[in-house]
Structure 1
Amino acid sequence: MKRKFLIILSTAYVIFMACLCFYYFSKGETHSYQVAFGGMLCGLVPLCLILFTKIKFNMPIMISYFAFLFASQYLGSILGFYHLGWWDTFLHLLSGALLSFVAIALYERMTHQHTRNDISYWLVFLFVLAFSVFGGVVWEIYEFSMDQFFNMTLQGGGNFDTMVDLIADTTGALIIATIAAVKTKKRFNMS
């Protein structure tokens, strides 16, 4: 059931972005059809993983992934919400939290249930925080590279934009990493 829902969700997003891509291409709006084309690729990634691998996905993370794509690609880039000023910072805060949840899911998959009580809550905190902040750094490298190589303007505010984005990513990560550490500490104290 979960697998079918994720296939439908991924397919629907790809079709939505493909329609937008065709529409904006026919109107000659280069930026919008490029964003929509990128949206198609982003929607295909989970679909390909679902169909061609045995990876099991965490449903809340996948729904959050598509909500984030919709908010950043369609609302942010195509409809222009990024001109609100706070939209980009808000999405970076959310992406920091979302990547933290991905880190927690990875942690749970990479460790055995019975050994988790022996792992320090500080290690959980550092793993979740580092994973999430690293994701933010990789994204900023991507933005910088696209601006340099393809003359795009992803870093509209230059260094200031980059630093605000990284601070927002880190803040979202800190919140979730702290919650994960506190839960781990409580579980450790109960055993």
Structure 2
Amino acid sequence: MTFIPLWDKLLHLVSPMILTAIGYGILSEFLKGQNITARSPWLFLIFGFSFAGICGVFWEFWEWSWDMLLDMNLQRYKSGNTVFVGRRVLQDTMGDLLINVIGSFLLSFFAWYKSRYNSAYFEKFRVQFLNS
């Protein structure tokens, strides 16, 4: 039963945007002590996009695992007592992965556009720890 239509797709669109930004932060941490503005923005764009993409794939593994273990129907392979077959089974998973790629691409495109006019754009994603 779905209370909010397309909620799953909305989550699969927004979460890779957040994960792409987290990927930028992770890469910034790897480049600790280095001048980020001297790096090509493509390093950040490719890393962030790839990080979000692989997280989406692992999420689908997670859904599949719980469907197999507890029959939770996270991948929408059935409706009520009707079990889908063929392409109908793959629609939810492949749709989720496609929406994941689109979400990551949208944030990557936005970051590429912003970095063209501000060479220090990815500096904003550098992880900063608060002093206790």
Do both proteins adopt the same fold according to a TM-score greater than 0.5, normalized to the shorter chain?
yes
**What runs of 5+ residues in structure 1 fail to find an aligned partner?**
1-79
Letter in 2 for 1:165: D
1:107 Cα deviation from its structure 2 partner: 2.2
Q: Is the 8 A contact 1:93 1:168 kept in 2?
A: yes
Give the distance between the partners of 2:114 and 2:32, measured in 1 at CA. 17
Q: Output the TM-score relative to the length of structure 1.
A: 0.51
What value does the CA root-mean-square deviation take over the aligned residues? 2.1
Q: Which has the higher contact order (CA 8 A, sep 6+)?
A: 2
Matches of 2:21 and 2:37 in 1, distance apart?
A: 19
Give the corresponding residue for 2:31. Answer: 111
2:94 corresponds in structure 1 to 163
Q: Is the 8 A contact 1:117 1:187 kept in 2?
A: no
- Percent identity between the aligned chains? 28
Structure having the larger proportion of residues in helix: 1
Aligned to 1:187: 118
Q: Which runs of 5+ in 2 are unaligned?
A: 78-88, 121-132
Q: Out of 85, 107, 111, which is 1:176 matched to?
A: 107
CA distance 1:182–1:136, shift in 2 (3 Å): same
Taking structure 2 as the reference length, the TM-score comes to 0.71
Match of 1:143 in 2: 63
Task: Within 5 Å, give how 1:1-80 maps onto structure 2.
Answer: none
1:96–1:136 Cα contact (<8 Å) kept: yes
Which residue in the other structure is 1:124 paired with?
A: 44
Aligned residue-pair number: 109
The one-character-per-residue Cα deviations of 1:95-119 (angstroms, maximum 9, x if unpaired) are: 1111112112212222246521232
Moved more, 130-139 or 146-155: 146-155
Residues 71-118 of structure 1: CA deviation (Å, up to 9, x unaligned): xxxxxxxxx6x3544111011101111111211221222224652123
